[in-house]
Amino acid sequence: MTAAGRGSRSPAVPGRSAGLRGRNPPAMAIGSARASAWISERVSSGTGEGPAVMEEAGRIGADLWERARPLLLEEGGSVLLALVGAIAILVLGLVLSGWAARGAQRLLSRVKVIDPTLARFLASLARYAVLAVAVLAALERFGIETTSLAALIGAAGLSIGLALQGTLAHVAAGVMLAIFRPFRIGDSITVGGNTGTVTDINIFFTVLETADGLRVFQPNGQIWGQPLVNNTALARRRAEIVLPLEDPADLARAKALAEEVVAAMVAAGDGVLAEPAPQILSEPAPDGSILLSVCVWVERPRLLDLRTRLAEELLARIAAAGIPLGPPNRMAAAKGRTSRG
């Protein structure tokens, strides 16, 4: 059966193959006949169809292969070359974008009027600009006109903007943060319920490191769109200690002890400031007790240390004088007020 199939198709194959550029018609006819026989045998064994049906299927498969092979031989090399070139351009773009970002940051860091926060942001923009150029160059390797692509992107800009409005909002907020600079790298800020030191600012998000060793990635859109507290913007901070006195009759003695403690710390010149002047205030609590507030201004870097020392000194002197303090629930409220100082 197979031999007969070969004999019946042998005259037709050279005729089809004669039109192919630079091919040997007899050799291609032999190859087509063998391919047809091989396909018919495999399909027949797998499906159980009759010889005539399998013979026709083999002939069609061989015919398709003869039509596709010249195209693959002629165009496959150019497609493969374009693919390799595009990959090489993208890899080179990744390398150059890193160099551009580092070079821009080093150059901008030498300009005294540009702070490190803005320098990092501009370096990030340089990186993405180089990557965009690399992507356009890679597309050109496949014959895609960049001008047409730009027109297409412009026409689809509205839909893309709607789909990525959240991401674009973060980018716009990053630009605003870089221009107005409400904080810089190294500042401690509180935003969105997170408090930490700013370690990095890019066009999409700001990185914070918290006091307990967590790294927080805060989107720029959230930072720009809500109140932000810069804890390190000013050189001095106020420390407040609130103590609940059980008996209002002890207010005068407790106030005198607090004045002595504050005066001693100011005289020591160890970070507690004489100006603005310290304040010792009192206010009644709803249950009839008295809350004694001791407020002093300190150098910002030593806020936690000096506030702790002030609390320890006050508690020690009041305990030594035998002045009772309020119950634990009012102590907890006092600690809460102190933590917000």
Claim to verify: residue 222 and residue 262 sit in the same structural domain: no
Claim to verify: residue 2 and residue 137 sit in the same structural domain: yes
Report pLDDT for 308.
93
Claim to verify: residue 127 and residue 261 sit in the same structural domain: no
Claim to verify: residue 23 and residue 126 sit in the same structural domain: yes
The bridge status of strand 188-191 relative to strand 229-230 is antiparallel
Claim to verify: residue 137 and residue 259 sit in the same structural domain: no
Claim to verify: residue 188 and residue 251 sit in the same structural domain: no
Round to whole Å and give the CA distance between 329 and 335: 10
**Domain-located, residue 260:** yes
**Domain-located, residue 309:** yes
* Residue 195 lies in domain: 156-233
**Domain-located, residue 101:** yes
What residue has token string 């004088």?
321
Claim to verify: residue 26 and residue 135 sit in the same structural domain: yes
Point out the domain boundary residue: 233, 266, 289.
Answer: 233
Point out the domain boundary residue: 74, 108, 143.
Answer: 143
User: Residue 248 in contact with residue 279, Cβ under 8 Å?
Assistant: no
Q: Which two tokens stand for residue 212?
A: 């307990």
Strand partners, 282: 292
Q: Which two tokens stand for residue 55?
A: 């013979």
Number of domains observed in the structure of the chain: 3
CATH of the domain at 193: 2.30.30.60
Claim to verify: residue 85 and residue 9 sit in the same structural domain: yes
Claim to verify: residue 107 and residue 220 sit in the same structural domain: no
69, 72, 317 from 58: Cα distances, Å:
16, 21, 104
Point out the domain boundary residue: 217, 233, 249.
Answer: 233
Query: Which residues in the chain land under pLDDT 70?
Result: 1-62, 64-77, 79, 112-113, 115, 143-165, 327-341
**Domain-located, residue 5:** yes
**Domain-located, residue 150:** no
| pLDDT tens sequence across 127-174 | 888 888 888 888 777 766 666 666 666 666 656 566 556 777 887 888
Helix (H) / strand (E) containing 189: strand 188-191
Claim to verify: residue 124 and residue 262 sit in the same structural domain: no
Claim to verify: residue 119 and residue 177 sit in the same structural domain: no
**Domain-located, residue 212:** yes
Claim to verify: residue 136 and residue 182 sit in the same structural domain: no
End-to-end CA distance of the chain, in Å? 98
What residue has token string 């009192």?
282
For the sheet containing 279-284, what is the strand order? 236-245, 290-299, 279-284
**Domain-located, residue 308:** yes
